Amino acid sequence: MDKHLNRRNFLKAGGMSTVALALGATGALSLGGMKKVLAESGDSKGGFSGYGPLVKDPGGVLDLPKGFQYRIISEEGGKLSDGRVIPGAFDGMAAFEGPKGTTILVRNHEQSGNTEYPVEGKNPYDKTKTGGTTALIVGANRKVIEEYVTSSGTIRNCAGGATPWGTWLTCEETRDHGHGYVFEVDPNDPENELSKTPIREMGAFSHEATAIDPSTGIVYLTEDASPSFFYRFIPNDRSQKPGALQKGGTLQAAAIEELPTTTASNFYTGQKFGIVWKDVHPEKPNLDAQEKGCIRFSRLEGAYFAGGVFWFDDTSAGEAKKGRVYRYFPATNTLELFYESSDANHLEAPDNICITPWGDLWIAEDGAGSDRIIGVTPEGETYVFAENKLNGSELAGPTFSTDGQTLFVNIQDPGMTFAIWGPFSRRNAGRQRLMGHAVPPKHFAPQISDKLAAFAESQGISPLEAAAFHRHGVIL
């Protein structure tokens, strides 16, 4: 066992990160299958690693790789379809499939008090507040057909998350009295009663983002505070339809009982923990979580659920305080530190995140410089896809159209929404599984030696991967 063979080099060696996916039903390694998997992952030499260097934008707005282009489809201060103003402070966003080849975007506006471009709602939750959400119906030509308010009267609508049933959970990042809640927004029924009814049992705290496990209906939530905690909400009604979350449920925070410390600051990359969930009071969850010894994070931000894995990031964590990315496996109730940045050139201040159609994790930075969209591969390598050259304002809300052909993303200030298209890699379910380490149930898993299991654990790879490599002659 080579003590110098770390997880990153191990997975890169000879393209071995994809070997397990090319195995046939007999267990034999298919050369044709191997080539196909490598080709679909974007690089016949062994793995996708980005789209090359960025090309300077002559407009001085957004640098992208060669072959990609953008269109600004919405700007703050413009006019909505009904003549109301397009609000400012663009933030979290999600894309849904619309009729006749359209895409429906739902977009947050992180505002609270006096602002030049407030959300002017007809049915606000709180008439004194200027936050809320809007929606855009975008045609196949990547031009806006309609743009309208979907909710109003809330505070600092920072992030949130899409639901499997086609609505958007918008989150208030505040602890102001009467606020700090999650609201459900239906882009097909804008400014309805549901949009101004807080989901109180999902907690009153400085919310950041949510993501839902479609197999269970459980909602996972992050908190942008210090300290911050990792929560889940178990709904009473698992029907997964608009309004079901309003029927209450149980709010819990993650804890690690076997550790003497309650802070995540000492975690190292690849380290995994079995966690327990502790009930917390929805009106004082942060205080409850502290008192019950739950895991303290620095400042949790973006969240995304894909392939059975909940991904989230901590914007200022790590030894260099450049940020971390975690993943949680509900099937095994396991939390892992997947990536930690030690250099701002690789990643700085991770915020909103998404999983691309071909399986990489994409992160919008919220740093102090020219913020970027950073890609992270299953091997833990990073690459730059876009860089905001306008004014150093944060990028926010990266989300792909359901056909995978268009990336939509925001600049927060001045508020702009972009449609970006070009030679994106095609959809790759196998690579998405690799990103999440699809581990079989224990009684179906391959039997491996203690030595091999220890190596897999120390390098952050799954026993299934280790067994596949070992079976086909890779010396570990």
What is the DSSP annotation of 323-349?
-EEEEEETTTTEEEEEEE-S-TTT--S
- Torsion over CA: 433, 434, 435, 440 (sign): positive
> CB-based contacts of 192: which residues, under 8 Å, 6+ apart?
123, 186
Tell me how far apart the alpha carbons of residues 123 and 117 are, in angstroms, rounded to a whole number: 17
Tell me how far apart the alpha carbons of residues 228 and 208 are, in angstroms, rounded to a whole number: 10
Lookup: tokens for 383: 């690459």
> CB-based contacts of 8: which residues, under 8 Å, 6+ apart?
379, 380, 381
Q: CB neighbours (10 Å) of residue 449?
A: 11
Residue with structure tokens 């911050």? 228
Low-confidence residues in the chain, pLDDT < 70: 1-48, 259-261, 368-369, 437-445, 457-462, 475-476
Which pLDDT value is given to residue 178?
A: 95
Decide if 166 contacts 96 (C-beta within 8 A): yes
Distance of CA 319 to the CA centre of its chain: 22
Architecture per CATH, 54-434: 6 Propeller (2.120)
Decide if 278 contacts 185 (C-beta within 8 A): no
Q: CB neighbours (10 Å) of residue 26?
A: 7
Tell me how far apart the alpha carbons of residues 268 and 366 are, in angstroms, rounded to a whole number: 23
Which pLDDT value is given to residue 4?
A: 42
User: Could you report the per-residue pLDDT of 21-41, keeping only the tens digit for each?
Assistant: 333 333 333 333 333 443 444
Decide if 109 contacts 91 (C-beta within 8 A): yes
Q: Return the domain boundaries, the chain.
A: 7-45+439-471, 54-434
- Torsion over CA: 61, 62, 68, 69 (sign): negative
Decide if 221 contacts 232 (C-beta within 8 A): yes
- Using only C-alpha atoms, the chain has a radius of gyration, in whole angstroms, of 22
Q: What is the pTM of this model?
A: 0.84
Decide if 179 contacts 151 (C-beta within 8 A): no
In the chain, the percentage of residues whose pLDDT exceeds 70 is 85
Which pLDDT value is given to residue 442?
A: 60
Which pLDDT value is given to residue 200?
A: 98
Which has the closest alpha carbon to 292: 247, 257, 250?
Answer: 257
User: Could you report the per-residue pLDDT of 61-87, keeping only the tens digit for each?
Assistant: 999 999 999 999 999 999 999 999 999
Decide if 119 contacts 162 (C-beta within 8 A): no
User: Could you report the per-residue pLDDT of 253-285, keeping only the tens digit for each?
Assistant: 999 977 656 788 888 888 888 999 999 999 999
Lookup: tokens for 340: 């930690």
Q: Is the peptide bond before 242 cis (omega within 30 degrees of 0)?
A: no
